[in-house]
Amino acid sequence: MRRLAALALLASLSACGLQPMYAGGGKGPVAQGLAAVEVAPIEGRGGWLVRNALRDRLAQRGATAAPRYRLDVVLDDQLEGLGGLGRRHRRGLVRICDHRRGADRAREPRRRRRRPHRHPVEPRAALGHVKATQKDFAAVAPRAAQQARIAFFCGPDEAGASAAADKLTAMLPDPGERVELSGASLRSDPVRLGDEARSTSLFGGTRHLLVRANADEAHDAVKVFLDVIDAGEADGACPVLVVATGATDKSRTAKLLEKRGDALVAMFYPPDLKTVTDEVRKMAAVAGIRLGGDLAERMARAAGLDVRLAQSEVTKLALYLNATQQAPVLADEEALDSIGAATEEDGLMPLVNVVLSGEVNRLPGELKRMREVSLNPVGVLLALERRAAQLAQLAGRLGPGGRGNDLLDAEQKAHRVFWRDRKDLAAQLQRWNARKLERLVQRLTALHRALLGNSQAAELLLAQELADIARFAAQGRQTGRP
């Protein structure tokens, strides 16, 4: 009975009128139709491989009949960040031509349509005409992070612009992976910005673009991206942040964005000491550090009013003190000195300061340290020459009867005097006037020639000269020849 039922079922299948699409194998109508497609030559070694693979799949090899269709393919495949599991960008140009009709069966050549975005987003509300500076950026940033598609950071304060871009990134609902692009690459390929913004990462997560450009390098790329947005083809595109060094809010790129409701233009001017000091205090509070005394101002000066360097110092200090917001720690000068980077100059300057300040009682210990740590005699002399040249410049600005402390305050505000050197410079200016410094420079030049001419006795020659100079400096304002 089971066999009879199976035979009856097979008989009923033929009665429905359906035929298998791929019936007949290689001689069936579908196979014959695919074999009638000719694959045109594709440029490059990769194109040669792709063409052979397509011909194999279409069963075109060995075909004797004249082809009916021609398949034109252009490959543009870029793989970036291979070592870091980066992203793959593939753009194809496909055209199918009917030889009998002499026209395209499908469409004129155009870029392959994109797949739907994996993470569609809701339409963004208009941000309005927004231009910001460092004074009002904190108030504008939260709304811009929710609504702006592209942000342009410019101005002479490149450090402030970069820090603002990082703050805006932290405010994004889901910043995801950061993809950095250079202005030079976008200048050579303006279409790439729009492609990157609309593509997805290797693992399908969200991301944002950060472009570091010089002046208007990214102008054409931004214009192309804005055209894509205006055409309604940027749904799901990730946020784009452009940090343009040397650009202003009057540049060509800023002009493209200033009247748009989905863009932000932020201009950053060089900050003053008070502004950076307040910013350091805010950074420290977030990191769980209580700064005592003038440590915040000291860190701002040491960073050269660069908020990025200041943030790095605050982060190092928090790690050193094991500070958190839940367990804040009071920082002192000793802790700040402990995280400072030691350089060769740091090892030379104690000896230089002892000599030029006339601290004869400390000189034997510094000379002993010079031998123990094997300081290069020529390196010590070069450091001494640099300090003498600095003192000569300060003495020239000071003039007769000038106030050294007032001069050093002005020089420190102008970032020409490092805060750590101020105390030593003040003591040395009291001992060396312009006339004495001129003779000192001449004597150091002669010593330099002597060290280069007698390298075996360089350490002994240097020690003798340093002792003579220290004894002369100890005499204070007395006249004489060093």
- Residue ranges of domains in the chain: 29-112, 131-267, 273-338, 344-474
Cα–Cα distance between 277 and 133 in angstroms, integer? 18
Q: How many residues does the chain have?
A: 482
Phi, psi for 314 (deg, rounded to 5): -65, -40
Radius of gyration of the chain from its Cα atoms, rounded to whole angstroms: 36
Q: Write out pLDDT tens, residues 427-460.
A: 888 888 888 888 898 888 888 888 888 878 888 8
* pLDDT value, residue 299: 84
* pLDDT value, residue 104: 44
CATH class of 131-267: alpha beta
Record the tokens describing residue 420, joined without a space. 């750590």
Beta strands per DSSP E along 175-319: 177-182, 207-214, 240-245, 263-267, 289-291
Burial (CB count <10 Å: 0-12, 13-18, 19+), residue 394: buried
Q: What are the residue ranges in the chain where pLDDT is below 70?
A: 1-28, 30-31, 44-45, 59-66, 75-129, 201-204, 293, 340-347, 476-482
Q: What does pTM read for this prediction?
A: 0.48
Record the tokens describing residue 302, joined without a space. 């040491």
State the residue for tokens 């505000």: 413
Common-topology check for domains 29-112 and 344-474: no
State the residue for tokens 């192309």: 224
Side-chain-side CA neighbours of 354 within 13 Å: the count stands at 19
CB-based contacts of 254: which residues, under 8 Å, 6+ apart? 152, 154, 247, 248, 265
CB-based contacts of 249: which residues, under 8 Å, 6+ apart? 131, 154, 155, 258, 265, 267
User: For residue 46, what is the enclosing H or E element?
Assistant: helix 44-57
Could you tell me where the DSSP H helices lie in 62-157? 137-147
Task: Report yes or no: 448 and 331 within 8 Å, Cβ to Cβ.
Answer: no
Task: Write down the CATH number for the domain with range 29-112.
Answer: 3.30.160.150
State the residue for tokens 């060509």: 252
Phi, psi for 80 (deg, rounded to 5): -120, 145
User: For residue 477, what is the enclosing H or E element?
Assistant: none
CB-based contacts of 117: which residues, under 8 Å, 6+ apart? 198, 200, 235, 236
Q: What is the architecture, at CATH level 2, of domain 344-474?
A: Up-down Bundle (1.20)
Task: Enumerate the β-bridge partners of residue 245.
Answer: 214
- Exposure letters 290-316 (e unless 16+ CB within 10 A, then b): ebeeebbbbbbbbbebbbeebbebbeb
* pLDDT value, residue 60: 53
CB-based contacts of 360: which residues, under 8 Å, 6+ apart? 470, 471, 474
CATH class of 273-338: mainly alpha
User: For residue 3, what is the enclosing H or E element?
Assistant: helix 2-15
Task: Enumerate the β-bridge partners of residue 182.
Answer: 212
Cα–Cα distance between 436 and 396 in angstroms, integer? 12
